[in-house]
Structure formats: structure tokens, C-alpha cells
Amino acid sequence: MHKLLVVMTGLLLALTGRAQTPDRYSIIPKPAKLEAREGQFVVSNTTTVVVPFSNAAVKSIAETFTNQLNTTSGLQVSLRNVNKMALPGNIISFIPVPGLGEEAYRLDIKSNSITVESTSPKGFFYAVQSLMQLLPPTIFRAGPAASRATSATWAVPACRIEDQPRYSYRGLHLDVSRHFMPVSFIKKYIDLIALHKMNIFHWHLTDDQGWRIEIKKYPKLTQVGSKRRHTLIGHYYESDPQQFDGKEYGGYYTQDEIRDVVRYAQSRYVTIIPEIEMPGHALAALTAYPEYGCSGGPYEVTGKWGVFNDIFCPYDKTFEFLQNILTEVMALFPSQYIHIGGDEAPKDSWKKSGFAQDLIKRLKLKDEHELQSYFITRIDKWVTSKGRKIIGWDEILEGGLSPNATVMSWRGTQGGIAAAKQGHDAIMTPGAFLYLDKYQSDPEQEPTAIGGLLTTEQTYSYEPTPQDLPADVQKHIIGAQGNVWTEYIKTPEHVEYMVFPRAAALAEVVWSPREARNWPDFRQRVQLHLPRLAALNVNYSRSLFDVLAETEAAAGTLRVTLKSPVPDTEIRYSVDGSAPSQQSARYESPLSLSATTTVKAVTVKNGELVGEVQQWIFPVSRATGRLVQMASALTYPKNAQAALLTNGRYGSAIGYLADVRGVAGVRSADLSATIDLGAATPVQKVTVGVLKATAGSVLLPRQLEVLVSEDGQTFRSVKTLPLNPAERGRKEVIRHALTFEPVSARYVRIVAQNAGQIPAGMINEGKDATVAVDEITVE
């Protein structure tokens, strides 16, 4: 069977000329070099793991591996010191060798032996991660396989691997301020980082919404600063006014817990970089110690998201306070890097502060931006004097970069590139590719996320080092990191859902050689990786397998093409509202819809549902695909087009205000859309959705009106519906059906009357309102 596979793969390679990793070597991240071989090493009760007991770190790695293998397989593989006489049976040898890179390793797997070579424990640790991935996924279980009868063959496919990482910094971040995550989960997260051969856990411990690390010298940081009165419900702009849950929220890590977590991470070769935010994102600290803010308070740990004007004031006593905190932080975390934040620090409170303004004059600074630079530089010098180094978000570049700093580039990659050009190290974490808090699939079908779309494929496509930079600049880009902000992520299960499999894609970006990256190949391997995550009880997302729907509207019909993003899967679907199953109709060719239809679809592989069920309501009517004329130019959202109003897709108000999709709006004027039905047609009902997004100045119209015409010149009104533009509440598209006595008409016009100036008492009062509508149907 395996032989056949090898032959077939060879054939495939010969035919396509493209290197596809055979399924039996589905290691993530993909090793730098893997030479396939025929045959396999079968693990049995006579297998012995041989390791020099004199090397405690390597012995511990071999021992952990052996125990895990025995626990999950039920086999009794023994562990022996290298000095013992050669034993009968097959042998897995851990052999320290000189001269390999610190994280490099070699695996040589033959039918009767496995040789694991490295120069350092780290390399052995990564070798074991690869070895584990060559064994059945059940090796990742916490206990024995549920049923011996169904358990897999405990064999390792023969091959030779020479592997080492592309980047030295391979990070994953977690914000525990917006939502606190228990120690048990932090350990699981570290395990998952290590499994993917990543080596950094960036622990975002402080922010406006909660201070999460015990500081002995300042007990109020956790007594007061770790708690907030309540938390925003739903998406930031979901409600006007915003709604809160009324529940106190809190949590923090004691220093004992932190020491325990640090030890845990060390044993998995993961460095924890703690982040203590300054000068911004400081509300939780200021609530506990208001004397370090410019106004003196009172302040409140906030239950809202965003950026807040109250930041640390650059008093000498504030530096003393922060240095005392960092002293305790550095005692807890042996990491060379200490992250001091530096992002999103509004200068309002410094502008208003006599002290800050005097300081700017005294230091002969140009403005508050240079004062921020002074702030960061002063902390940097102090941290450096303690033998550590700072990392800061890319704002630390503004007003002059502190000399010893490493920059974390999050607002795109320009900050990282600028820093690298100045000779600073840079870590790439651009939002467009590596913010794992974004939607990973159709927002209409996903739990609430911060906004934007970032698919696993997009993460996989990220290239941290711009190839057009000179080599001496490129070398300062030391790696990349995925960021996980938890405003909309309340539980460990939800963190797992957001992070995997996107972090598996990132692991390959930061570990594997650039030229080895190949999306179809990864997509194949990740299907064999997901069962490992399942064995580890990781609540990963199946969005990778979600059916995609493409639509084409033409003259009263909608052609719906369903696509599976993964080859070798079939699509099963329903159009009667029922949940699709393996027995549902099999999708063969595009559907042609002539009336509004609910379509549900799911991908199926080997008789099992593999994606989530996706569902769409496609509005189809006589108006579908017809030409729409607007009386005034569309201004909202950016790139809105009239064709959106008859394209067979409803609009969506999910995500940021800028993410609103499928709607078209006009600012400061009425919206008038005229649809040409092509010929005189009996008409008695028009439906249209109106967007209410008051935080974005999009108000309901004063009224909706339907007019009809035979010739496109003379229109007569057949229906009006008054609405209330002062209505607030949820951001949503509200659909209205306007019915009237049947008439014959070729042209149907919908006029949504603009609210005009935004009334007093509403958000954005006094500004001009926008009126926006979505899909229009005509029956």
C-alpha cells in the first residue's frame, strides 16, 4: 500500500513536475529537506529508545516522547542509556552531534532504526515534534486510544529529514486583558506553540480593560485594576447606545502561577515575552494608582474596546513606578526581550497637562510625539541597563526610535521595514495577514469577530521579508507573529477556534524555506494535521472546508455556483430549508434560481461532513440582474455600486462600519434608484432593506416611496412608508415589503428620503446623514 503510494506519488511528480509531499509525510511546518524512502519503521514492544543519560535535557526529551508513545499506543517501548550493550529489536537513537544550528536536527528513518541527531536540546525537541507527526494522530491524545481494535499501526514512514527554521523569532501572542484565560489554557497554548515549532509566546498582560499580573509592590494593580464593572455586549458598533452586560469581570495571575507557567514554557523551548503597556492602554493601572495620570483621575477600568485618552503622565514618579513594576516582571520572566507596548497613545492628556508641556520645553522637544519618544527611550535605557532589551509596537518609531529597540510592525509592514533600514531588528505582525482576531470565513456565518477577513490561505501567503530589500536590511527582519486580541473572544475554546488552523499556516511561514511554501500542498497536509489537533482537544475551525457560493445575476434569474475550497470533497446541498446531510442532493452543476431561495450546503469527504453547514438566502425576483440608475452618485461605503442592489445578494451590516457589504448609500441627498425591468410587467410588491448604522452617520430614511413608469419619463407614486430616522439601537439592515394594487410597469423607482442633518442628541449630531439601502426585489 505504502509502496504503491510512493510509486503513485512519484508518478504524480513526474506528471505535474510539482513536488507534492506524500500524505504519509504530512509534517507541519514542512521540513526544510525531506527525502522520501520506501518502507517503514514499525514500533513494537522490542523497540528501544537509546539516549545518553548523561545529557539530562536530551534524556528528558526522549523520556517524554517514550512515555507519550507508550501511554497512547499501549506498547512498552523501553528507554536505555547509550552505554548499555546493543539490544535486539529496533532502535530509536538520540545522538548529540556537533556543528548543527541551535534549532536544527536530522532524522534518519529506516525500517530497523531511527536516528535523531542534533547539537542542542532545542533541535532534539523539534526532531521529536516531527517524529510525533509521522506517527498516528492518536499519539497526541492525553490517554490510551479509546479502542485498541481501531487503533492505527504504530509505524513511522521511512525518510531522511534535515531541518532548521527560516526565522529565529516565531511567535504567537495572546491578549488576556480583554478576556482572561486560565493558567491551564495558557499551558495548552504553549503546548500548541511548541507543537508547531514556534518559540515565542507574547503574553499581553496589561491593558485598559484589566491588569492581569500580580505586582507585590503595587497590590492595587490587581486588587483594583484587574476588575471591570461590566463588559460591552456584541460588536463595538452593534448598538446605539452601547449595551453592557452588568456583570463584574476580573482575573489575574499570581507570581507563583507565572513562575510555574515560565517553567512549563522552558521545558517546551518556548520563551515568554511579557508585555506591560505604556504609555497608553493604561486605564487599568491608572484606576488603581491615579497619581500616575496627568489629570489625577478618577479613572475607571473600562468595559469598552478601543483607544482611550488617559495615559501615563511622564512624571519622574511614573518612571519610578513603571521601573519598579518592570523589576518584578524581569525577575519573573528570564526573556531577553521585554515588550513595553508603545502603541495607540493619544496625546490629548499630555496636551492638557501643564507638567507635560513644561517638560517638552525643558527637554527642548518639538511636540508630544517627541515626548512619547523620550518616554520610550528613557524606559529603553533603563531596561537596557538591566541587561534586557525592549520590543515595542511600531509607534515607537514616531518622534525618533530608541536606539536599542526591536520594532513589532502591526500597522502594515512599513514600520518594520523602516526599523530594519535603521539597523534595528523587526518582527512582522501586519494586521492584514497575521491578526487572528479577524473573520476567517463568511462573517454572516461566523461568530462575532473584530472585523475584516483573513482566511488561512491569506495567512499562509504572507511573506515576512520583502525581497526587494538589500540583504543587510533583510537580516534585521527576524521573524513574524500572529496576534490574538480577545475583545470578541471570551473563552479558551473560542481562542482555539480563531487560532487554528491559521497558526499552523503561520508556523510554516516562519519555519519553512520560502521556496518550499505551496498552498495546495499545505492544504493537503493540514487535513492530516487536524486529527492531531482533535486528539489534543483543540476546537479548531473547519472554515477551510466551508462551501463558497458565487453568484451571477441575469434578467430575473440567479446562477449560483457552489465551490469546495478543498479538492477530493463533494458538496451536498438542500433548497428546502432542511439541514444538508450525506444523503442530500449532490451538487453537480450551477443552480439556476428564479425565486428567492434558501440554499444550505456542506462539504463531504469519505462519507463524512467536513465543513460547517453554510446557508444563504438568495433574493431573486423580476428585478434580479436588471440595470439600476441612481439619481445621485453613491458615496457609501467606498466603491459602492448600483449593481449591488439587484445582484441577488442581501447586504450585511456585520463587522466594522467600513466592512458593511452589499449596500449602497448616498450622503446629504435622497437615494433614488430606478430599475428597468426590460418590458412592461405586472408589479404589486417591492422589498428593500434600509441600513441603520447611527455610529457611522447612516440613519433610516424619513420615508420609502415606490414609483412606477411605463416609459421611464413619467412616474407615479404607488406606495409610501414613513420611517423614523431618529431610531437608534442595533446596527442592522431592516427589510421592508411595500405592497400595492397590481400595476403594469417597466420601470420601478425606489426613493429613500435622506434624514438631512443628524438630530441633536444622536451620535454625530449636526452632520449630514447618509441613507443606504440593500437588495431590491420586485414582484
* Catalytic site positions: 207, 281, 344
Report the residue number, 344 or 370, with the smaller CB distance to ligand ACM: 344
Closest distance of CB 481 from ligand ACM, Å: 11
Cβ contacts of residue 470 below 8 Å, gap of 6+?
none
Check residue 343 for interaction with ligand ACM (CB under 6 A). yes
Closest distance of CB 342 from ligand ACM, Å: 9
Check residue 410 for interaction with ligand ACM (CB under 6 A). yes
Q: Residue 207: helix, strand or coil by DSSP?
A: strand
Report the number of secondary-structure helices (H) and strands (E) in the chain: 18, 34
Report the residue number, 344 or 444, with the smaller CB distance to ligand ACM: 344
Distance CA 464, CA 437 (A): 19
Report the residue number, 169 or 393, with the smaller CB distance to ligand ACM: 393
Cβ contacts of residue 35 below 8 Å, gap of 6+?
159, 160, 161
Q: Find the binder of ligand ACM among 260, 300, 344, 521 (CB under 6 A).
A: 344
Q: At what angle do helices 255-266 and 316-332 cross, to 10 degrees?
A: 50
Q: Residue 559: helix, strand or coil by DSSP?
A: strand
Report the residue number, 410 or 462, with the smaller CB distance to ligand ACM: 410
**The C-alpha cell of 510 is what?**
516562519
Report the residue number, 435 or 500, with the smaller CB distance to ligand ACM: 435
**Residues 227 and 248: beta-carbon distance below 8 Å:** yes
First to last CA, the chain: 60
Distance CA 523, CA 442 (A): 19
Report the residue number, 424 or 517, with the smaller CB distance to ligand ACM: 424
Closest distance of CB 341 from ligand ACM, Å: 8
The stretches of 363-413 forming alpha helices (DSSP H) are 368-385
**The C-alpha cell of 292 is what?**
500616575
Report the residue number, 344 or 710, with the smaller CB distance to ligand ACM: 344
The stretches of 394-449 forming alpha helices (DSSP H) are 414-421, 431-434
Query: How are beta strands 169-175 and 477-482 bridged, if at all?
Result: parallel
Report the residue number, 328 or 395, with the smaller CB distance to ligand ACM: 395
- At 65, the amino acid letter reads F
Check residue 236 for interaction with ligand ACM (CB under 6 A). no
For residue 257, count other CB atoms closer than 10 A to its CB.
15
Report the residue number, 450 or 748, with the smaller CB distance to ligand ACM: 450
Cβ contacts of residue 547 below 8 Å, gap of 6+?
562, 563, 564, 571, 573, 601, 602, 603, 611, 614
Q: Write the DSSP symbol of residue 358.
A: H
Report the residue number, 204 or 622, with the smaller CB distance to ligand ACM: 204
The stretches of 468-518 forming alpha helices (DSSP H) are 471-474, 492-499, 502-511
Distance CA 42, CA 154 (A): 6
Closest distance of CB 397 from ligand ACM, Å: 13
**The C-alpha cell of 428 is what?**
512582522
Closest distance of CB 344 from ligand ACM, Å: 5
Check residue 257 for interaction with ligand ACM (CB under 6 A). no
Contact pattern from residue 288 through residue 327 relative to ligand ACM, giving x for each residue in contact according to CB under 6 A and a dash for the rest: ----------------------------------------
Closest distance of CB 429 from ligand ACM, Å: 8
**The C-alpha cell of 240 is what?**
446605539
- Site residues for ligand ACM, window 566-595 (CB under 6 A)? none
**Phi–psi pair at 345, nearest 5 degrees:** -110, 95
**Residues 72 and 143: beta-carbon distance below 8 Å:** yes
**Residues 669 and 772: beta-carbon distance below 8 Å:** no
Check residue 732 for interaction with ligand ACM (CB under 6 A). no
Distance CA 80, CA 62 (A): 10
Residue 187, judged by CB atoms within 10 A of its CB (0-12, 13-18, 19+), counts as middle
Closest distance of CB 400 from ligand ACM, Å: 20
Q: Find the binder of ligand ACM among 393, 573, 715, 747 (CB under 6 A).
A: 393
Q: What residues make contact with ligand ACM under the rule CB under 6 A?
A: 343-344, 393, 410
